[in-house]
């Protein structure tokens, strides 16, 4: 087996196994288990981000950032679960303000051996970029009304989101590997091509149709035009999310966020696209479809 095919099969196997865990929690309707999985992935990805920076010689406030992320994720989940995503906004703002105050206070006692502004800004950026954006997945779960038996219904939209996003990722990889000749953003990622970009859009659109055909009653908030538009919009956002992490890794002078997942890299490499697609889906459902 060629190295390219081996990488593809390792990448596919890792993706399938991890997202099967997500699918299992969705089908069971186990809210705490779903949050535990999402929370673990967000915390692990944030740790990988801080580790990349530390490895590159940038001293960030890793422990402070991780503690704040845990508070943000847990508190946001409990409030959203109890009274809806709209009511978690004030709590999140409070955590972010206190986090800023804490970071400045920590820097006061660290000294000036490292660039203070750089250390503080990179720490704060990590909190916004990973746990805050990833928390939109839990918000989507509680955006739609519960059933009479108390079961949530938003998890089916999360399943749709993950499927479309990952199909975009796989489409970009497959089409880029097979047909890629024209560089898309060589200054960011030399292997990204226009063929891969259009492959990502085609794959996400195809998956969007497939998911809607598979469970139209579970995705009843959508109509045909929403399926077309979201397929393209989420596919585009997934490509941007993947390139965004490439910018971060290039800035930290590293290839993968970690070596935890064969063929993929780290948790951040796995969820980078969803960091952008999850907020877009939630805002589309709220402001365009009027859900929630």
> Pick from 214, 207, 253, 261: which is nearest to 234 by CA?
207
Reported as a single tens digit per residue, the pLDDT across 137-185 is 999 999 998 888 888 899 899 999 999 998 999 899 889 988 988 888 8
pLDDT band at 13 (very low <50, low <70, confident <90, very high): low
Reported as a single tens digit per residue, the pLDDT across 81-130 is 988 777 788 899 999 999 999 998 888 877 655 678 888 999 999 999 99
Task: Supply 267's token pair.
Answer: 């948790």
Contacts of 203 (CB under 8 A, 6+ apart): 167, 168, 170, 171, 172, 174, 175, 235
Residues 193-209, mean pLDDT to the nearest whole number = 96
Q: Per the structure, how many domains does the chain have?
A: 1
Q: Greater confidence, 252 or 239? A: 239
How far is 225 from 208, CA to CA, in rounded Å? 11
Task: Supply 166's token pair.
Answer: 């990952």
pLDDT at 99: 93
Residues 47-65, mean pLDDT to the nearest whole number = 91
Residues 209-234, mean pLDDT to the nearest whole number = 96
Q: In terms of DSSP H, where are the helices of 132-193?
A: 133-134, 136-141, 155-179
How far is 133 from 182, CA to CA, in rounded Å? 31
Phi, psi of 260, deg, nearest 5 = -70, -40
pLDDT at 31: 85
pLDDT band at 56 (very low <50, low <70, confident <90, very high): confident
Task: Supply 68's token pair.
Answer: 């704040």
Residues 1-28, mean pLDDT to the nearest whole number = 66
Phi, psi of 192, deg, nearest 5 = -75, 135
How far is 60 from 62, CA to CA, in rounded Å? 6
pLDDT at 1: 52
Task: Supply 75's token pair.
Answer: 């508190």
Share of the chain above pLDDT 70, in %: 89
| Domain extent at residue 53 | 3-288
Cβ atoms 40, 66 nearer than 8 A: no
């Amino acid at each position: 087996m060629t190295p390219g095919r081996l990488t593809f099969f390792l990448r596919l196997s890792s993706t399938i196994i991890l997202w099967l865990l997500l699918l299992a929690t969705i089908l069971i309707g186990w809210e705490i288990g779903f949050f535990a999985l999402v929370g673990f992935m967000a915390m692990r990805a944030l740790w990988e981000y801080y580790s990349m920076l530390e490895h590159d010689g940038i001293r960030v406030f890793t422990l402070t950032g991780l503690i704040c992320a845990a508070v943000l994720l847990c508190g946001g989940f409990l409030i959203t679960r109890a009274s809806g995503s709209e009511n978690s906004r004030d709590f999140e703002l409070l955590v972010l303000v206190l986090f800023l105050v804490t970071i400045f206070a920590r820097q006061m006692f660290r000294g000036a051996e490292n660039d203070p502004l750089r250390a503080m800004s990179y720490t704060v950026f990590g909190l916004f970029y990973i746990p805050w954006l990833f928390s939109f997945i839990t918000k989507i779960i509680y955006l739609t009304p519960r059933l009479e038996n108390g079961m949530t219904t938003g998890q089916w939209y999360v399943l749709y989101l993950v499927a479309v996003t990952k199909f975009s990722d796989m489409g970009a990889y497959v089409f880029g590997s097979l047909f890629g000749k024209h560089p898309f953003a060589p200054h960011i990622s030399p292997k990204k091509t226009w063929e891969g970009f259009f492959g990502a859009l085609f794959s996400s659109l195809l998956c969007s149709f497939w998911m809607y055909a598979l469970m139209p009653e579970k995705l009843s908030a959508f109509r045909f035009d929403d399926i077309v538009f979201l397929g393209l919009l989420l596919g585009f956002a997934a490509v941007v999310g993947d390139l965004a992490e490439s910018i971060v890794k290039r800035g930290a002078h590293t290839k993968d966020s970690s070596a935890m997942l064969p063929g993929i890299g780290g948790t951040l490499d796995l969820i980078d696209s969803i960091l952008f697609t999850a907020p877009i889906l939630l805002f589309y459902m709220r402001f365009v479809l009027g859900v929630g």
